[in-house]
Structure 1
C-alpha cells in the first residue's frame, strides 16, 4: 500500500505500551508501534554532537594549519552542506519504517548491499574507538583511575545502553542536550571572558587549502551520520511531515556540531602544541579546577555516552543487516542481537586501548579517508530515493534474494565503484594522496566530486538500465 503524507500530523506522543527495552531489530516497525516526536529528533542530534570528539574535530582545522576566522567559516559551510545530506537520509526513516542500510538493497541488491554495509561497520567501530579514548580520559580523571581502565568502564556502559536500544538512546539524547548546554555555556563563558578572542579572530591568513580542509572536516562529520540516521527516526509515525523532519534533524545536528567545533577552534588556537595528546585535560583546564573540573569531566563523559551508543547501536543494525540478507530473513533473534552488540562494542574498545596514545593523528586520517567510501553511497541512495524510485520501495522484497531487487544489482554496484575511483585523484590523507592534490594546493575536494559526479552518473545509468520500481510503497504483512 502507498503511504500518503499528511503534513498536519507530524508528532505523536510515545505510546504507553512502548517497552523501554527494544524488542525489534532490523525489521519493519508497524504503525501501531510508532511513537516519538520531532522534538526528540532535534534533541537527539543536538545532544549527540555537543561532545568532545566534535570539539577535537573542529580543533583539527587549526591544528593542521588554519587560522581561527576562516576555519570557523569553513566549518559552518561544510556543516550546512553535510547536514542537508544527512537530514535527507533521516526523513526516509518514518516513511519506510526501516533502518537506513537495509534500504541499500534497492540500489545494490540483497547480497550486493553487503559491500557498503561492511564499510559502514568499519566506520562505526572507528568512531566508537575514537570516542571511547576520549571518554576513557574523562572517566580516568573523574574517578582517579588509569586511562585504560576508564576505557573499559565506558565500554561496559555502552553495552548496557545499546542492549536497551531505541527509546533509551532517545531519552539519553534529551538529557545530553541539557547537560551539554550547561557545560558548553560555562566553557564558552570562561573562554570569552578569560581570553582575548578578538585577537584570535583578527589574525586572518586565508588559504584555499586550509579553508577547504575545514569544510571537509565538518562535511565528513555530517555525511558520516548518513548510513544510520534513519535508524533513529524509523519509529516516528509514517505521516510525519517530511519538511519538518528534515528541519528537526538538520538543525539539531548543525547547531550542536558547530557549537562544539567553534569551542574546539578556540581551544586549539589557545593551546598551541599543548593540545595534541591531552585534549580532554586541556579543554577542562580552560574552564576550572577542583569540583567544577570534576563536573566538567562528568559532562564530557556523559556527552560521549549518547554518540557512542548511536555508533554501537548502528553497528549492530548493520551487522544484523548483513547476516539477515544471506539468511533471507527480515530480523535476527534476541540472542544474536546480544552477541552482535557485545562483539562490536568489545572490538571498538580493544581498538581504543591499542590506539589511545596516538589518537589525534589516527582519527584525523580516518575521518578524512572515510569520505571516499560514503559520499558515493550517499549520492546513490539519495538520487534513487528522491529522483528514481521516489520512495516506492517493495519492503518484503528487501529480504528476498529472488525478489524484485535480486541478489546483485550491477548498475548500482558499478556506479558505486566508479564513484570511489573518481574520488581517488582528489583525496589528500596520510593513507593516500591523489595525483591532482598538488595541483589544487594540497586541497581535498574528493567529497564534493564524489557526491555530485556519482549522483549524476547513477541517475543516467538508471535511464539506460531502468530498475524495477514498485507501483507504490509496499509494506510487509505485519503492518
Structure 2
C-alpha cells in the first residue's frame, strides 16, 4: 500500500500539479485539506443543473408545489444525513470510502458493492451528459453531440488533475454563480420572473409524494460512496461532528434550493427542460441574467462529472486491486479515467428518453443498489467497530478482515432481496416493474426504507459474533507500521 519514493507527493507547500494518491492511505504529513473547503465543495456539487429536474418529478405525477417542497425537504434531509456521516470517516481513516468497506465485505468481497458503486458513477455521468446536451441545446441551440464531447473532455481533465483542483474549480464556480442565482431567486419570490397559475390540477397523492421523497433522498445518498474521498486529506484530528455539519449544510441547502426552484419552473412556467426554464425565468428578471445563470449551472454540472469520474477511477482501481494487487500510481489513474470517459460518452450517445424520466429512473436504481451498502458500512463504523480499524490489513486478503466478509455480503444480499417486493421501478426502455407489496400499497415506493432497516438489523446481529478484542492487536501493529512509513516519508523530503 505504500507508494514509491519517486511517486510521493511533496510536503506542503508545493503539491504536485497532478495528484499522485489514489486508493492508498494518505499519511498525516500530506493531510493538507481544510475543513471550510467541505461546505462549498458539496454546496456546488448540488448547485447545478441536475438538481432542477428533480423538482419536476412530483409535478409530473400531479403533486402540488407545496407538497413537492415538503417531500423534497424531507428527502434531502434524510439522504444527506447518511452522506454526511460517511464524510466523517475520511479524516479518521485517510482512505477512499470503498477501501474502508473491505472491513465489512472482505478484501475480495468488496467487489460486490463496488459493482453497484461503479454503476452509480457511470449512470450519473451518462445522465449528466444527456441533461447537458438537452439543456444547452434547448437554451442556446448548441449541438448536443459537440456539447457531450466538450463536457466529457473537461470532466476527464479535472478528474486527472485530482483532489485539489476539483476543490478549487468548485469554489471558483460557486463564487461566480451564487450571486446570479440569488438574484434570479429573489426575482421569482417577488414575481419578477414571470409565471402564472397552471390550468393543470395539482394536489396530493401518496405515490407522487413518495416518488419525490425517494428521488430527493437518493440524490445525496448516491454521494455516500465517495464523499469521504474528498475529506481524506483533512487532518486526522479533525472533529467528526464538524465534518458532518459542514457536509450536511453544504449539500442539503443547495439541493433544496434548486429542487424547489425546479418545481416552480415546472408548475408556474410549464418548463419541461430545467436549463431552458432557468434561462427564461432569469431573462425575464433582466436581460441575459438567465443566459449567464444557465451557462454557469451547466458548467457546474460538468465539474460534477469530473467529481464522478474521480470517484469512478478510485472504484475501478479498488476493484482491480481486490483481484490482483496493483501499484496505484499516476499512470493507472489517468488510464482509468480515460476509459471511464469513453464508456459514459458511448452509453450517453444511445439514450433517447426525456430528461425527467432519465433522472428519475437513474436515481431510483442507484438508491436500491446503494442503500444495503450504506447501511452495512455505517452500522459497522459507528455501532460495531466504532471507527477503530487496522488500516494495513485492508490492503491484504490475509489480514484480519479476510478475503470474503460473510457478514457484510449476507447483509447486503438480504437487504437487496427484501427490497424487491416493494420496488417501483419506472419505465426503462420498454420495461418497468412494480413489486407485489408495492401494488398492495397503491404503488407507493418504500423499498429503500425496507432495505435500509433489514440490512442494518442483519449486519448488527451478525456482527455480535466478531472478536473485537482480537482485532486490537492488529490495530496496534497497523498503527506502528503506519508510523514507521510516515517517518520514512518525512525523512525522504
Structure 1 length normalisation: TM-score?
0.91
Alpha-carbon contact 2:105-2:406 (below 8 Å) kept: yes
1:120-139 deviations in Å (ceiling 9; x for gaps): 11110010111122233455
- Displacement of 1:141: 6.7
SS in 1 for 2:23: coil
CA distance in 2, matches of 1:376, 1:107: 12
Alpha-carbon contact 2:134-2:355 (below 8 Å) kept: no
1:342-376 deviations in Å (ceiling 9; x for gaps): 01122112222221553432331121122111111
> Which residue is 1:4 aligned to?
none
Alpha-carbon contact 1:119-1:373 (below 8 Å) kept: yes
- Displacement of 1:432: 2.5
What are the within-5 Å matches in structure 2 for residues 418-437 of structure 1?
A: 418-430=414-426, 431-437=432-438
- Displacement of 1:279: 3.3
> Which residue is 1:248 aligned to?
246
1:174 to 168, 171, 174: 171
Quick one: structure 1 residues 218 and 171, their matched pair in 2 at CA, closer, same or farther if it must change by over 3 Å?
Answer: same
SS in 2 for 1:441: coil
- RMSD, matched Cα: 2.2
> Which residue is 2:490 aligned to?
none
1:267-294 deviations in Å (ceiling 9; x for gaps): 111244x50xx33223211211864443
Alpha-carbon contact 1:159-1:341 (below 8 Å) kept: yes
CA distance in 1, matches of 2:463, 2:289: 58
1:248-282 deviations in Å (ceiling 9; x for gaps): 0011000011111011111111244x50xx33223
1:410 to 383, 406, 416: 406
CA distance in 2, matches of 1:306, 1:447: 29
- Displacement of 1:206: 2.8
> Which residue is 2:485 aligned to?
478
Quick one: structure 1 residues 142 and 448, their matched pair in 2 at CA, closer, same or farther if it must change by over 3 Å?
Answer: closer
> Which residue is 2:333 aligned to?
337
Of stretches 285-294 and 213-222 in structure 1, the one that deviates more from structure 2 is 285-294
CA distance in 2, matches of 1:134, 1:452: 33
- Displacement of 1:194: 3.0
1:460 paired to 2:461: yes
> Which residue is 1:162 aligned to?
159
> Which residue is 2:133 aligned to?
136
CA distance in 2, matches of 1:342, 1:316: 9
> Which residue is 2:429 aligned to?
none
- Displacement of 1:181: 1.4
Query: Unaligned stretches of 5+ in structure 1?
Result: 1-13
Of stretches 129-138 and 448-457 in structure 1, the one that deviates more from structure 2 is 129-138
Number of residues of Structure 1 aligned to a counterpart in Structure 2: 460
- Displacement of 1:195: 5.7
CA distance in 1, matches of 2:352, 2:157: 23
CA distance in 2, matches of 1:169, 1:195: 33
Of stretches 405-414 and 42-51 in structure 1, the one that deviates more from structure 2 is 405-414
CA distance in 2, matches of 1:344, 1:361: 24
Of stretches 339-348 and 356-365 in structure 1, the one that deviates more from structure 2 is 356-365
Alpha-carbon contact 1:375-1:447 (below 8 Å) kept: yes
> Which residue is 2:281 aligned to?
286
Alpha-carbon contact 1:48-1:176 (below 8 Å) kept: no
CA distance in 1, matches of 2:435, 2:237: 45
What are the within-5 Å matches in structure 2 for residues 197-212 of structure 1?
A: 205-212=203-210
> Which residue is 2:294 aligned to?
297
Query: Unaligned stretches of 5+ in structure 2?
Result: 1-10, 427-431, 487-493
> Which residue is 2:349 aligned to?
353
CA distance in 1, matches of 2:382, 2:78: 17
SS in 2 for 1:429: strand
CA distance in 2, matches of 1:204, 1:279: 19
CA distance in 2, matches of 1:194, 1:226: 38
CA distance in 1, matches of 2:203, 2:140: 42
What are the within-5 Å matches in structure 2 for residues 383-398 of structure 1?
A: 383-398=379-394
> Which residue is 2:320 aligned to?
323
Of stretches 160-169 and 212-221 in structure 1, the one that deviates more from structure 2 is 212-221
